[in-house]
Structure 1
Amino acid sequence: MALDASTRELLLLAFARRRGILETLTTDAGTPEAVAEATDTDPSVAEAVTTALADRGFLERVGREYEPTNRLLGFLTKTDVRSIGSLPATLDALDAWTDHDTDPERTRVNRLGEQWARDEHAVRAAVTAAVHAAPTAERVVCLRDGPGRHASEFATRGYDATILESTARGDTVAPLLAPTEVRLEIGGYDTMPQTDLAFAVGMLARSDDDRARRWLAAAGEAAPTVVCIEPVRDRSPEGALLDVEHHLRDGGRVRPESALRSLFADVGLDCSVTALPGTEGVALVGRRVQ
């Protein structure tokens, strides 16, 4: 099976990041010669990689040196998750697949950038499914929503929206959320505030069974309706591959529908499943068993 151009581009970026070439090009080196010296890379390899990065639009030639373009912006920023995009997180996933050491801090920020870059249609479809599941709800707690794409959509629709985040992720997104109507609270499944609707995207896929049950149990205690937007292994042609990726990347699983229903049942929640139009995800709607 031949590699296509997109795969080769990811491999190019992965190689350049692992060798320190990307960091060097975005800080103090603007020529292949300087890159080779700074990263202890063979000069011909440094020249080939730099040329390829320019050819793919990540660098541009300015005089005798190369400078980063907007395509490389996500590898420059360390704080504004809106500028990171999804590409750095994709490289983190590739690192997980190839058992390469990762930087936890970098991975955390990149995941937030990936969340901010989520497709607008997918965001609206997820929120719409939750609204249909709990039509009388006025308050929603979005679990681990990071920069708040979904919480902001809820707020736009008139909901009192809160994001429940970890300390490290919350500290990163707090400046972004401060001027919005979305409330940020720091905590976990043991500090979940009471609400009308608990909502999460991909939370179960990022969790092993024990952690998933803890989150679902807490959400079921905090809200009469729990909506989880998730990939389902037996509903997607890539489900088995996604399962491996989440296991390697997060210690989680992309489960078949029967296993997802069982997780809800284990914590006393009845579960219904609704497809999300235009996406491969589903809305798992949990309600307390009376």
Structure 2
Amino acid sequence: MTIESFFIGTRRSDKRYGPQSKDMQVSEFISLISPQNAPHKVVLPDFTGLAIQLDAQIRNQFHQLKEDEHFLRYRQLSERWYQAGSISDRNNRSKRFEKIMDDSLDFLLYSQDVMPNINPDDLQWHDYEKASSKGKMYCVALLFHVIARAAYEPESVGKDPTLPEYCRWMKNWIEKTLGHDFLDRMMIYCALFAPAYFPALQRLSGEKETRDVHEFLAEHVRTLAQKNSSEVNYRDQRQFTFGYTMFTKQQFEFLGMMRDVHYRIDCIEQLLLDLIERKVVDFTDASVAGTWIEKQIQRLESNDVKQ
């Protein structure tokens, strides 16, 4: 990605797969940033513009779905966050953001109680929107908390070891919802016909280490040959049946959405872990870094980002 004044400094590791959708590309901006002329300096950007962009996507769904209690609570949190940011007096703004910190955590705990039970092998027409909207609201609420804490007491942003637990809860919910059986069958299918998506499935299934897709497929074939082969009547030959599942378009769309939510919460978790690990984080260029992120998102939306 061509970057004018900053580059993403701590997001990517050798074991991390890259973004495969526009939503995932936007999620990549949830990271600490290092100035190009000072690569050892770490800046926590002002994520306000990013949060506004993500919030707008969610609010657009308000017009498409009936607003339930979950939507109502999110909208109230969102509006309070906007109000806090609009207050010019620093002390009053700080008090409002302190309240946002508490409200956002309350919303996250409430969300954990009302996340839907979905069977990916028996998807209903509303399952995609329910999981998508609730998952995205969860991510933005956590981002609201990070922004509010940075505004209220910036030196404490990286001192709360409990925040990554909220990320792990969502990742566990995604893994449980998809289920090991569904993911195993999907991994076999993708290993055969869509190997580029295999690393994402590994992350969704909770695997920490990467596996080569060809080695995975060879191991699966080897296991089948050892356990299920039968004799053929001539020349001492043996045979076995290799089966795989065909999935519907609806299932692939649901899986892609869950992948995007997982990637977003994974980016937030990595940000929080980076903040905890690093003792010194600079806030002096937060607004500059935040403005750069907003410009990159605008370019991304207009397909003008160079990779």
TM bucket normalised to smaller: under 0.3
Say which structure is richer in strand.
1
The structure whose Rg is larger is 2
Given the two structures, how large is their TM-score scaled by the length of structure 2? 0.24
**What TM-score do you get using the length of structure 1 for normalisation?**
0.25
Q: Name the structure, 1 or 2, with higher relative contact order (CA <8 Å, separation 6+).
A: 2
More helix by share: 2
